[in-house]
Amino acid sequence: MMTHRAGACLAAALATVVSMTSLGAAPVDRSAAPADQYFGAQKMSALGIRMKIDALGRRYHARTISDDDLLHDASIAEASLRAWAGQYPRDPWLAPAAFHLEQLDQTVQSQAARAQATALLHYIAQKFGKTKYGHLSRLRLAQGFAPLHGESAVTATPNPYASASASSSPSASVSPAVASPAAAPTAGASSAPIPSATPSAAPRK
């Protein structure tokens, strides 16, 4: 029969095992979106949305995309971001991603871009008001935007296959000279041999 002392020791050992097991298992963050979950009509993941914003920013500064095309792609990323926020409103990556997207819209020098940035600032201030991004959004709305200025011209995106195709295409070669045919006979010329000026002697009988 187990004594009181032995029972106390067994309970303490079990508690230690349970404590060590709980420390070894990392808690699962249910607030963050899984990496393999996709949002919006374009089926973009949370990481894909952030990467898309970064890529659009690089293309804008390299001037390889027009303002209209950039705003179109940015609006697609924003729709996916709002769908992401609808399912995982406490995801810690939401607020910085939304603010980063607003900064991109704000950089484009057009009235359409400013309207898109203003709408996103209101969204961040309301949705993530307690974060520093909510504070920065309210501050930007109070201060307003800087005046619009000119932008450099958009450059054509270089084609990586242009040089390869040019080198692989055969160069123009000079065709071998074709011997000109002999002069054709005139219309009135006879094909019969021309008679000799002095007739040949008649054979003797």
Interval 18-73: pLDDT, tens: 444 344 444 455 789 999 999 999 999 999 999 999 999 999 999 999 999 999 99
Q: Where does the pLDDT of residue 90 fall: very low under 50, low under 70, confident under 90, or very high at 90 and above?
A: very high
Task: Give mean pLDDT, residues 100-110.
Answer: 97
**The dihedral of CA 159, 163, 165, 166: what is its sign?**
positive
pLDDT on residue 5 = 58
Which amino acid makes up residue 110?
S
Angle between helices 94-107 and 111-127 (to 10 degrees): 160
- Cβ distance 43 to 36 under 8 Å? no
Q: What is the pTM of this model?
A: 0.64
- CB-hemisphere CA count at 13 Å for 203? 1
**The dihedral of CA 25, 26, 32, 36: what is its sign?**
negative
User: Residue 71 — φ and ψ, nearest 5°?
Assistant: -65, -35
pLDDT on residue 23 = 42
Residue 197 has pLDDT above 60, yes or no: no
Mean pLDDT estimate for the chain: 78
Set out the domains of the chain in order of their start, with CATH numbers.
42-143 (1.25.40)
Which amino acid makes up residue 108?
V
